[in-house]
Amino acid sequence: MSPINQTCVEAGSEGVEAKKQKISEVQQNEVRDSTKLYFVRLGETAQVPTRGSKLAAGYDLKSAYKVTVPARGSALVKTDIQIQLPSGTYGRVAPRSGLALKNKIDVGAGVIDQDYRGNVGVILFNHGDVDFEVEVGDRIAQLICEKIAYPDAVEVENLDDSERGAGGFGSTGMKN
């Protein structure tokens, strides 16, 4: 049995905080695999991030609370999980297609930096005319671990030419 599993067994009927403390003490001496997504549940209603299928791009994030997202409004929905992203990635919080299509629910401000260790919250926007009710355990968004580069920003006098140039906002769709 791994040290972490043994600690969970030993924690037995203790509360969540006591279990987290014991697990934290074991993990301080552990070398972590930098290719894994690690998470900590912060409360009793926190849900394990799961993928809908083996090849699903994202992990479903689930609400830890009952929340109403008002019609034409927004709400912050907490998951009560902390995450440690794989090395060289950031977390992109993306909408769930079913919520977008059926309920007009979208996700905002969807970037989780690799060094963020707080409670993962999801900003939901309701573009519909009816309040949207989120229940504990509802899948509210997807967490996608995307590779990232950390280039140094260098100021220069001018940039290399490109075929596109400064065209934007639909300019490539207007060419003959």
Tens-digit pLDDT string for the chain (176 aa): 444 444 344 444 456 666 566 556 555 657 788 999 999 999 999 999 999 999 999 999 999 999 999 999 999 999 999 999 999 999 999 999 999 999 999 999 899 999 999 999 999 999 999 999 999 999 999 999 999 999 999 999 999 998 888 878 777 775 55
Has residue 1 been placed in a domain? yes
- Same-domain check for residues 16 and 4: yes
Q: What is the pLDDT of residue 168?
A: 80
Determine the structural domain holding residue 133 and report its residue range: 35-150
Half-sphere exposure of 110 (CA within 13 A, CB side): 19
Has residue 166 been placed in a domain? no
Kindly report the pTM of this predicted structure. 0.77
CA distances from 135 to 67, 68, 77, 128 (A): 7, 9, 10, 18
- Same-domain check for residues 64 and 27: no
